[in-house]
Amino acid sequence: MKVRSVSALIAAAAVGAIFWFFRTNGLLAIGIAVSLGSIYEYGRLTFRPEIANRSLRWSFVVLCSALFLTTAFVEKPVGSIAQASIYFMTIVLFNVTSRRDLPNAVQLQGAGLMGFLYVGLFPALALRLLKFDHGDVWFFGLLAIVFAGDTMAYITGRFFGRTKLFEAVSPKKTVEGAAGGIFGSALAGVLIAQFLPPDASSWMMIAAAMITGAFAQIGDLHESLLKRVADVKDSGRIMPGHGGVLDRLDGVLFATPVYFSLVSFLTSRL
């Protein structure tokens, strides 16, 4: 627990310092780095040596990275997703050498298409938050909602957790911890509202934070599912006490599309 806390504080201080000196450009650089890291980790988790050759894994990594960058900075999502998908499905198809490969090929195609959304489109939308008015507030707000919820879920679950939430996927998570996590996200919503224009509705921000926090918890469960299928404890080792990029940002990834839509709605009313 001590290593985990110290590691989180160092990471938060580093992000704060980069933002202080480089502002939005610093956030963009951090976002690109961690997103590319999540793409690599997903490729390693999903396209394991026993089911996919190395060239197929790197094909996914390259295509998904291109999808992420074009969606974040150049194109609208639909065209990028369609192109990446058709290229990857074709590559998988031409890796088939016998009838025995057919079921596995379909599964690999599905895993690739899910990855394009999960670690390609979703983090790109997080960077697009920076293009809104008060973009820095919305971006940090997303992180605050997810991490506050994660922290409160851990504390509440540890001291009050009794009822298992989804034991087949994540044995330690409890209903009480999930409720505490929603409360933590709501508190983050209260804080975010203080940095928005006076005509912004605090209650709508709190509601948006609670909805976002709920999907962040589903994202945590989704990554647990991926790790159980891959039979690994962590997605990587980049952050002591936390594991890999996906281990730390799983909630952020799942929450981002929902949060992006809610922010679009809230800003339209300002």
Q: What pTM value is reported for the model?
A: 0.90
pLDDT exceeds 70 at position 111: yes
pLDDT band per the 50, 70, 90 thresholds, residue 236: low
- The runs of H, that is alpha helices, within the chain are 2-46, 54-73, 77-93, 102-115, 122-128, 135-160, 175-193, 202-230, 245-268
Are the C-beta atoms of residues 132 and 263 closer than 8 Å to each other?
Answer: yes
Q: Using one digit for the tens of pLDDT, what is the confidence trace for 83-107? A: 999 999 999 998 887 777 788 889 9
- Residue 92 amino acid letter: V
Q: What is the secondary structure of 192-258 as a DSSP string?
A: HHTTS-TTS-HHHHHHHHHHHHHHHHHHHHHHHHHHHHHT-S-S-SSBTTTBSHHHHHHHHHHHHHH
Taking only the tens place, the pLDDT of each residue in 56-85 is 999 999 999 999 999 999 877 888 899 999
pLDDT of residue 51: 86
Distance CA 140, CA 133 (A): 13
- Residue 1's pLDDT is 52
Mean pLDDT calculated for residue range 164-176: 88
The C-alpha atoms of residue 236 and residue 246 are separated, in whole angstroms, by 8
* pLDDT value at residue 74: 85
The pLDDT mean for the chain works out to 88
Tens of pLDDT, residues 184-225: 999 999 999 999 888 778 999 999 999 999 999 999 999 989
Residue 11 pLDDT > 80 = no
Q: Report residue 233's pLDDT band, with 50, 70 and 90 as the boundaries.
A: confident
- Model confidence over 16-42: pLDDT tens digits? 788 787 788 888 999 999 999 999 999
Q: How confident is the model at residue 270 (pLDDT cuts 50, 70, 90)?
A: low
